[in-house]
Amino acid sequence: MEQRIQKILAQMGVASRRKAEELIAEGRVTVNGRMAEIGMKADSARDHVKVDGKLLTRPEPKVYLIFNKPKGVVTSLSDPEGRPTVKDYLQRVKYRVFPVGRLDYDSEGLLLITNDGDFAQAILHPSQKIYKTYLAKVKGIIDDDALAKLRAGVKLQDGKTSPSKVRRIPHRSENNSWIEISLHEGRNRQVRRMLEKVGYPVVKLKRTSINGVKLRNLKPGEFRPLEPDEIESFNAGKRAQ
């Protein structure tokens, strides 16, 4: 059956559909020796589809992992600066996988890893409004006015954020506060920028859950498979839209 090239690449675990389109635009994909174009269709069972000269074979089993990213690790499979990457911690995974979305270098916590491009695309698409929850340590004792601003939405350089769910975490300190913040947007360094905007710079930031799926007892640098009911929770969200 013929399908668009970007969908074939996603199904075979090469990348998300968006990233697959970038690979095609960069001229890195060929079909039967011909340079692929956006919108081109092929039959993965009959046609020879290559990425960077490597022939794609039958789809690998789908892999869904939760990884506890340590601070100081790049959410990428390679880094031109030679810094540690997510890939360094996934040597035991025998299939080619990639991170879903991003978690900045200085942050830690839950990161989804998969080889299912459609799964990744569905989670990242803004229409799904999948909530991500973070535990943030900030400078100063955060006041009610700042919490109210976070809940209502904060005006950033790239536009006002959507309302967030925020609560103060009880903690005895004269210098810092802890809050839990949940939001469904995925802008670059969004939580850090929001808290900076309301006057409370982040000292430490950890993502603790996505769509209610949690790290559990994973230590930094460890990963585990998503359980069937956890995978189903994401699929249920897709069906609800």
Residue 32 phi, psi dihedral angles, 5° rounding: 55, 40
Domain boundary among 55, 72, 94: 55
Q: Cα(107)–Cα(71) distance, rounded to whole angstroms? A: 5
Residues 39 and 79 placed together within one structural domain of the fold: no
Q: What is the DSSP string of 78-125?
A: --TT---BGGGG-TT--S--EESS---TT-EEEEEEES-HHHHHHHHS
Residues 26 and 140 placed together within one structural domain of the fold: no
Residues 122 and 219 placed together within one structural domain of the fold: yes
Per-residue pLDDT at 194 exceeds 50:
yes
**64-69 and 223-225: which strand pairing?**
antiparallel
Q: Cα(22)–Cα(164) distance, rounded to whole angstroms? A: 32
Q: What is the DSSP string of 143-159?
A: -HHHHHHHHH--EETTE
Alpha helices in the chain (DSSP H): 5-11, 17-25, 117-124, 144-152, 190-197, 228-240
Residues 225 and 121 placed together within one structural domain of the fold: yes
For 112-166, the pLDDT digits (tens) are: 999 998 899 888 888 889 999 999 999 999 999 999 999 999 999 999 999 999 9
Structural tokens at position 84: 């540690």
Mean pLDDT of the chain: 91
Structural tokens at position 52: 């960077």
Lowest mean pLDDT among 9-23, 80-94, 197-211: 9-23
Give the count of domains, the chain: 3
Q: Cβ(7)–Cβ(17) under 8 Å?
A: yes
State residue 97's pLDDT score.
93
Residues 70 and 168 placed together within one structural domain of the fold: no
Residues 218 and 195 placed together within one structural domain of the fold: no
Asked about 104 being catalytic, the answer comes back as yes
Cα torsion angle, 220, 225, 226, 231, sign = positive
Residues 192 and 156 placed together within one structural domain of the fold: yes
Domain limits at 13? 2-55
State residue 121's pLDDT score.
87
Residues 9 and 46 placed together within one structural domain of the fold: yes
State residue 233's pLDDT score.
87
Residues 137 and 102 placed together within one structural domain of the fold: no
CATH number at residue 29: 3.10.290.10
State residue 239's pLDDT score.
43
> pLDDT grade, residue 238 (50/70/90)?
low
CATH number at residue 136: 3.30.70.1560
Q: Cβ(56)–Cβ(28) under 8 Å?
A: no
Q: Cβ(64)–Cβ(115) under 8 Å?
A: no
Per-residue pLDDT at 66 exceeds 50:
yes
Residues 120 and 22 placed together within one structural domain of the fold: no
End-to-end Cα spacing for the chain: 27
Q: Cα(47)–Cα(74) distance, rounded to whole angstroms? A: 36
CATH number at residue 97: 3.30.70.580
Per-residue pLDDT at 58 exceeds 70:
no
State residue 164's pLDDT score.
96
Portion of the chain with pLDDT greater than 90, in percent: 73
Q: Cα(134)–Cα(107) distance, rounded to whole angstroms? A: 10
- The mean pLDDT of 2-20, rounded to a whole number, is 86
Q: Cβ(123)–Cβ(131) under 8 Å?
A: no
The catalytically annotated residue of 79, 104, 118, 143 is 104
Residues 45 and 87 placed together within one structural domain of the fold: no
- Buried residues in 185-217 as b, exposed as e (16+ CB within 10 A): beeebbbbbbbbbbebebeebbbebbbebebee
State residue 240's pLDDT score.
44
State residue 130's pLDDT score.
93
**Closest among 112, 79, 80 to 97, alpha carbons compared:** 112
For 14-43, the pLDDT digits (tens) are: 888 888 899 999 999 999 999 999 989 998
**54-55 and 98-99: which strand pairing?**
unpaired
C-alpha of 156 from chain center: 21
For 68-85, the pLDDT digits (tens) are: 999 999 999 999 999 999
- The mean pLDDT of 58-75, rounded to a whole number, is 91
State residue 44's pLDDT score.
82
State residue 217's pLDDT score.
93
